[in-house]
Amino acid sequence: MRVPGGGGARGSPEFSLCGPLPSRAERLLNATHPDVKRTAAVTWLPVSEHFRVHGGARLVGEVGVAGAKNSVLKLMAASLLAEGTTTITNCPEILDVPLMADVLRSLGCSVEIEGATTTVTTPPEISHEAVSVYMSRLRASVCVLGPLVARCRRAVVTLPGGDAIGSRPLDMHQSGLRQLGADSHIEHGAVVAEAENLHGAQIWLDFPSVGATENILMASVLADGTTVIDNAAREPEIVDLCVMLQQMGAKIEGAGTSTLTVHGVASLEPVHHQVIGDRIVAATWAFAAAATRGDVTVHGVDPNNVNLVLEKLRAAGAEISSSAESFRVVMGSRPSAVDYVTLPFPGFPTDLQPMALALSAVADGTSMITENLFESRFRFIEELVRMGADARTDGHHAVVRGQERLSSAPVWASDIRAGVGLVLAGLCADGVTEVWDVFHIDRGYPEFVEQLRELGAEIERVAD
């Protein structure tokens, strides 16, 4: 069993990021992101890569998942809230971690990444201007907004980038900050927020946005008085953030419910914190097992965080068993078609929609997939159709008529999850599927190729 994050290969002499030797994630930053600009802190090699996926293998074995991408980046942002050294363990060795580290360095922090451990040292005074070139590379960079407003009472934060999955406005983030007493507007490509004082408020979110909940939460922990966030997001990564903030001294009630109550405190202390396992990566392995009619045991995640996914796979015909930190998916025959509707947690995660589409493409019967969060996520279907899938969309619904087998083709990853969905489809296709633009996959899946190989897949990473 390979457990990522347990200490990556190191020692290439040509890299000069912080610390004596680069971690695997830092090497990824150097090696697979051809269009990032050279900065004082980073050197990079312009290498782009694709995967060659041979169809037909049945995935069998055990696999471990590292910490959650959508948690670690927010925890790193939270370290801005306390002067001193915060240590975060079980970090995934993915590209987004060194990108976020660069964002924090641009604010005055020193950050070291040693395998699965990230240490952030936050000085007494931090810059309020988050304008690192990497801000526009990842969505989670916007999560420095709340901490900066809390610490500096002002913030200038370059509008974030991230996956091309549809419009991602910040109106709820800004509205929440305004209610806490900060003026906020967009200026020259950045969110600007300024407050004389932050004070508690009753805030109702229009929608349980993950990012808005996180920013408002991180601003309110150092505000005067009590803040109540209603219709808050309930994702396990929000709970993880609440747990770390509570360890730091924040007074938060209701973590994991749709009402968060925060009693502001004067200051917070740095802590050691372990990131929760990545439920999206774990569920990806579950889909991979089901799609290849395999038998895969996944370790390192709380099965309660993937309950609905496992129920869907059970409905598709899989045998599922689970224990405290692992689960097993066995699919003995062709999966049956099931329907999926993406919703905020505990609903079916939008991040798994491409995997659900890939499974539906080879299932017995017709599936309806409804996307309620990101309108452009169905772009993935164009690539799936190249592989012979019988799929069509109508608004935010997709109908997929399953076929026994797909047919290999060159396909392009448009975001992290779409890229992985294409690899899953490639495993169920005749011949060799080439998946291009795999730097997207490297942003979210540590040692993906290596883990697939250990499960019996035939897949190669090829430098162009």
Nearer to ligand UD1 among residue 373 and residue 384 (C-beta): 373
Max Cα–Cα distance, the chain, nearest Å: 63
Beta-strand runs (E) in 275-389:
295-299, 319-323, 326-330, 340-341, 366-370
Binding positions for ligand UD1, 311-370, rule CB under 6 A: 350-351
As beta bridge partners, residue 320 has: 329
Q: Per-residue x/- marks for ligand UD1, 172-191, CB under 6 A?
A: xx------------------
| Cα(176)–Cα(207) distance, integer angstroms | 12
| Cα(81)–Cα(271) distance, integer angstroms | 11
| Cα(377)–Cα(353) distance, integer angstroms | 8
Closest CA to 344 of 310, 373, 312, 304: 373
| Cα(418)–Cα(415) distance, integer angstroms | 5
Nearer to ligand UD1 among residue 143 and residue 459 (C-beta): 143
- Among the residues of 32-182, which ranges form H helices? 69-78, 96-106, 145-152, 171-179
If binding is defined by CB under 6 A, does position 204 make contact with ligand UD1? no
User: What separation, in Å, do the N-terminal and C-terminal C-alpha atoms of the chain show?
Assistant: 30
Q: How far is residue 136 from each of residues 37, 159, 190, 373, measured CA to CA in Å? A: 12, 6, 10, 21
Binding positions for ligand UD1, 387-446, rule CB under 6 A: none
Question: Binding segment for ligand UD1 among 206-214, 252-260, 323-331, 403-411 (CB under 6 A)?
Answer: 206-214
In the complex, minimum distance from the CB of residue 305 to ligand UD1, in angstroms, rounded to a whole number:
13
If binding is defined by CB under 6 A, does position 170 make contact with ligand UD1? yes
Binding positions for ligand UD1, 39-78, rule CB under 6 A: 70
Catalytic residue among 35, 96, 102, 163: 163
Nearer to ligand UD1 among residue 257 and residue 323 (C-beta): 257
Nearer to ligand UD1 among residue 15 and residue 448 (C-beta): 448
b/e sequence 227-265, b meaning 16+ C-beta within 10 Å: bbbebbbbbbbbbbbbbbbbebebebebbeeeebbbebe
Question: Binding segment for ligand UD1 among 35-43, 124-132, 161-169, 218-226 (CB under 6 A)?
Answer: 161-169
Check if 302 is active-site. no
Q: Per-residue x/- marks for ligand UD1, 93-132, CB under 6 A?
A: ----------------------------------------
Nearer to ligand UD1 among residue 124 and residue 395 (C-beta): 395
Q: Which residues are catalytic?
A: 163
Q: Which residues bind ligand UD1 (CB under 6 A)?
A: 70, 139-140, 167-173, 207, 209-212, 350-351, 373-374
